[in-house]
Structure 1
């Protein structure tokens, strides 16, 4: 049977997403029922699907609220789902954060708070610190997204300008016990960094936040910098007694999804290798390195013998140089496409497992040896598009965008390179 490269790549993407399906993962991580109330809170691009799965699995009364991105809702009966803007926060997210803090106020030690947390929650839960506004938090978010800083640095900054991030939601729930069920989209799977850790404090300090701002040359509003200069910005520490009874359970991650993708490839007769589940760096540079590896395999059968599927995960960054359209996966793949231009036998897919790459409706894109030539024939200069952060436009011109729609989970990026 002749292998259809595009269909094959979609099948391994689907396997990766299925491995992170909350319906399959939540049941194994349910906490014991409490003597008192069960309150469910949550945020992220897969929070509605997590809420639906938790309702189906929970044997007992519960109530709660989760916030997700516009268009990412799912039917629930006992947990309210509200939608807000991502990646730029809006007033709906501000109101959702206020309601979540109100929902956990006044609880007792006999009550249980279950936090459903996944990627995207940082933008979906704007809650500016005292003296700051939503406009200030939006300015911070935009500066972070265009800085090229790794997600760990971005979330350390976010938690110090917020009243809900950095463990503050869990602190507000004290003395109730908080159990956080986390779907990780963070390289290294530190749950304190997922959605900037609303229920999981991290050791990252205010000094770390200020250092990152300087290193990455971020220009933040004067009010924000004044706030960060004050001890009032300090976030709760992990050894705070309010977190002593709490528990964190990682229910899905990039590592598990990459293993599932590799297993699917092997099921179809293609050997698979995983480079890493935590690759970071500039998307275009990571794309160029992946292209060099693919060329080496195609031309010299090293470091892997073909046919082979080369997989990697993690979260690259994009330093904005222009106001083009696209996200980190399409930018990675455009750089990759330039690097394999004319090298036959290579096909690739780069996509965000939540179904959305950047601010457009695609998860990522496909490419092969002919991609750059087809762009040229369509009047598109691939290198100029890459320089302008305009990868979406380039792939759209040749019909190679990957648009699966919202997947209901988020374990970060999947890069799948088939060398035939």
Structure 2
């Protein structure tokens, strides 16, 4: 594919390649041991968990178990039950399924084996609030964190200390059974303790850490939440004996997807620069920084240079300033278009690899030199001010809509300089 012939189609192709290599049907089987003798129970949560369960049964045959995924992300399984629930704010369906999962694990013994399938989205889908905290209280805190602009690591720290299943407590519930947790990473740095809020990984943070995060982001919480964070006891510390039989393994990560995208681009004749797979920050600020970098790279180019593709991953955030419909990837694209101000020969795409940018059923957006002209500069500025990027890109037919991709290795950004 010649990137010059159709830049938008080329960018979509490299994004699709990044998603494809993270598909559990391609990546999971290599990490499965032979099926253990005795009782095997499969549990899991996340936007990719149903696809992961499908991949497990393709390799092992019919299995017993329960996984929780986002509405619309279910897959047909032979024996593993798939429950759909809400994301990014938990709902009653997720709460009921989580309690059933804990009950399923509660009676296991040393000779039993648990396979845990964890991917991004598990933080909301695994929902068992701390004693005294209601689902409504948990929903309010989740919604406030999502609107605050806090980084994902900070959000997960708070979630862990308000949960009976996160921060190692899922593994503790299965003890003394042996557990293997297979994970698809959607967090910067691929730390298993932060993937899905680490339900199978010990955690060294404290309730005071969670309280400090709430103070830092000026989040007011219900009295029940304040009491739970004062009393503590929300996580299992590293080294706890109940974690001694649990192994955690990341099977797909953003770096692998960026490398696959780079390979495709190089085969198409592009030079490639990868800025990293763990970028964080406010979407509009990261966009402004990358716009300056791109314009510098463009100024350095000489006649005959190949197209340059600049790739990055990570998880950006949005601080809610208005009541529009948007997400961090679309907001990145909108802020980038404004900062580039119609510079010729520059095209870009930013999408969430799970197909859901923010809470909208839209993966992200694509921009080019004509984006501001199509939208008008005033409309673009207004949309950015009100966090209404999805609405603007829908109007100019620049949205990327994939439907559920059944995997989740975080944000994907590609900027093409021709």
Smaller-chain TM-score bracket:
over 0.9
Match of 2:400 in 1: 402
The within-5 A match list for 1:81-120 is 81-120=82-121
Name the CA distance, whole Å, in 2 between partners of 1:145 and 1:112.
Answer: 35
- Is contact 1:185–1:254 with CA below 8 Å preserved after alignment? yes
What are the ranges of 5 or more consecutive residues in structure 2 without an aligned counterpart?
Answer: none
CA deviations over 1:358-389 (Å, ceiling 9, x no partner): 11111000001111111018xx6111111111
Aligned-partner SS, 2:180: strand
Aligned residue among 400, 410, 413 for 2:411: 413
The within-5 A match list for 1:138-217 is 138-217=139-218
- Is contact 1:159–1:196 with CA below 8 Å preserved after alignment? yes
Match of 2:251 in 1: 251
Match of 1:361 in 2: 361
Aligned-partner SS, 2:5: coil
Aligned residue among 12, 16, 29 for 2:14: 12
Aligned-partner SS, 1:153: helix
Aligned-partner SS, 1:293: helix
Aligned-partner SS, 1:146: helix
| Pairwise CA distance, 1:192 | 1.2
Aligned-partner SS, 2:326: coil
| Pairwise CA distance, 1:93 | 0.6
What RMSD, in angstroms, separates the aligned Cα atoms of the two structures? 1.4
Match of 1:290 in 2: 290
Match of 1:313 in 2: 313
CA deviations over 1:160-206 (Å, ceiling 9, x no partner): 00111111111010000111000000000001111111122222222
Q: TM-score, normalised by structure 2?
A: 0.96
Matched, 1:383 2:381: yes
Quickly say closer, same or farther: Cα 1:32–1:246, change in 2 above 3 A: farther
Aligned-partner SS, 2:182: strand
Name the CA distance, whole Å, in 1 between partners of 2:90 and 2:174.
Answer: 24
| Pairwise CA distance, 1:125 | 1.5
Name the CA distance, whole Å, in 1 between partners of 2:15 and 2:203.
Answer: 31
Name the CA distance, whole Å, in 1 between partners of 2:28 and 2:105.
Answer: 22
- Is contact 1:101–1:169 with CA below 8 Å preserved after alignment? yes
| Pairwise CA distance, 1:234 | 3.6
Name the CA distance, whole Å, in 2 between partners of 1:297 and 1:306.
Answer: 12
Q: TM-score, normalised by structure 1?
A: 0.96
CA deviations over 1:23-68 (Å, ceiling 9, x no partner): 1111111134334211000111111111100111126x63001111
Name the CA distance, whole Å, in 2 between partners of 1:275 and 1:130.
Answer: 43
Quickly say closer, same or farther: Cα 1:209–1:376, change in 2 above 3 A: same
The within-5 A match list for 1:37-76 is 37-58=39-60, 62-76=63-77
- Is contact 1:26–1:57 with CA below 8 Å preserved after alignment? no
- Is contact 2:130–2:234 with CA below 8 Å preserved after alignment? no
CA deviations over 1:307-356 (Å, ceiling 9, x no partner): 21000000011111112101110111110010112200000000000011
- Is contact 2:48–2:407 with CA below 8 Å preserved after alignment? yes
- Is contact 1:37–1:62 with CA below 8 Å preserved after alignment? no
Match of 2:268 in 1: 268
- Is contact 1:312–1:416 with CA below 8 Å preserved after alignment? yes
Count of residue pairs the alignment pairs up: 414
Matched, 1:333 2:333: yes
Aligned-partner SS, 2:118: strand
Aligned-partner SS, 1:64: strand
